[in-house]
Amino acid sequence: MAITAEQVKSLREKTGAGMMECKAALTEANGNADEAVTILRKRGLAQAAKRAGRSTSQGLVGSYIHMGGKIGVLVEVNCESDFVARTEGFQTLVKEIAMHIAAADPKYVRREDVPAELLEKEKAIYRAQFEGSGKPAPVIEKIVEGKLGSFYSQVVLVDQPSVRDQAVTVSQMVSQAIAKTGENIAIARFARFKLGESGEQA
């Protein structure tokens, strides 16, 4: 099937991917734009995984003030170069993350930041729910792990669904930015302040 220049242009505008990548994805998807987006996303995420180990010493501290000064957020997002840090796309990402933190109120940046004692407490609560259920211990442990996934999506920033698009997690949002910039990007830390409450920090 022949892929038109218009199709390629439209896909580039949607994804920010290069012309040849868009053409290849459209050819693979037989001209189906939605399928081509999925193909590009998968490739982008694979590239993002390769870049994950690279050093991030540049970046920005972004801020967001919400609800007439009732909620404020500071977030540090790192990348590899000052050039990328100054691009509109990176600045937009930082702003999006700060707005997300204001709305979703995460407690930690990533899963490793959750204190072990809090995890054990959560697991104990889930296990107690199945006491006397007659289910074998390995089955209960699998259910507990599943429930922990739900717990992480509530309190861990990168696991939370984006407040703007529930189909995409904050981690996937960052991976898409990595695919577009060609640099590793990482959320370093954040602080969220709500008027009348003590500051919550990660």
Whether 91 and 171 have beta carbons less than 8 Å apart is answered as no
C-alpha 106/C-alpha 97 separation (Å) is: 11
Residues 38 and 68 placed together within one structural domain of the fold: no
Place of tokens 């074998």: 136
Number of domains in the chain: 3
Across the chain, what does the average pLDDT equal?
Answer: 87
Residue 10 and residue 85 share a domain: no
Evaluate if residue 23 carries a pLDDT over 90. no
For the chain, the C-alpha Rg in angstroms (whole number) is: 20
153, 104 Cβ separation under 8 angstroms: no
Cβ partners under 8 Å of residue 75, min gap 6: 61, 62, 63, 94, 97, 98, 101, 187, 189, 190, 191
128-179 per-position pLDDT tens digit = 888 778 888 888 888 888 899 999 999 999 999 999 899 999 999 999 999 8
CATH code (residue 146): 1.10.286
CATH code where residue 72 lies: 3.30.479.20
Residue 36 pLDDT grade (very low, low, confident, very high; cuts 50, 70, 90):
confident
| Same structural domain, 10 and 101 | no
Instruction: Return the beta strands (E) in the chain as ranges.
Output: 58-66, 71-79, 186-194, 200-201
The DSSP-derived string for 120-150 is HHHHHHHHHHTTTS---HHHHHHHHHHHHHH
d(CA 145, CA 123): 8
Q: What is the pLDDT of residue 199?
A: 45
Write down the pLDDT at residue 198: 65
Give 202's pLDDT tier (boundaries 50, 70, 90). very low
What does the chain come to in residues?
A: 202
Same domain, 147 and 161: no
CATH of the domain at 34: 1.10.8.10
Q: Comparing 19 with 161, which gets the higher pLDDT?
A: 161
Residue 196 has pLDDT above 60, yes or no: yes
Over residues 90-126, the pLDDT tens digits come to 999 999 999 999 999 999 999 999 999 999 999 999 8
**Residue 80 or 12, more confident:** 80
Range of the domain at 42: 5-51
pLDDT score at 33 = 87
The amino acid present at 151, given as its one-letter code, is: F
Q: For residues 69 and 103, state if they share a domain.
A: yes
In contact, 14 and 37? CB cutoff 8 Å: yes
**Same domain, residue pair 148 and 162:** no
Q: What is the pLDDT of residues 172-185, one digit of tens each?
A: 999 999 988 888 89
CB neighbour burial string for 27-55, b if at least 16 within 10 angstroms, e if fewer:
eebeeeeeebbebbbeebeeebeebeeee
d(CA 73, CA 192): 5
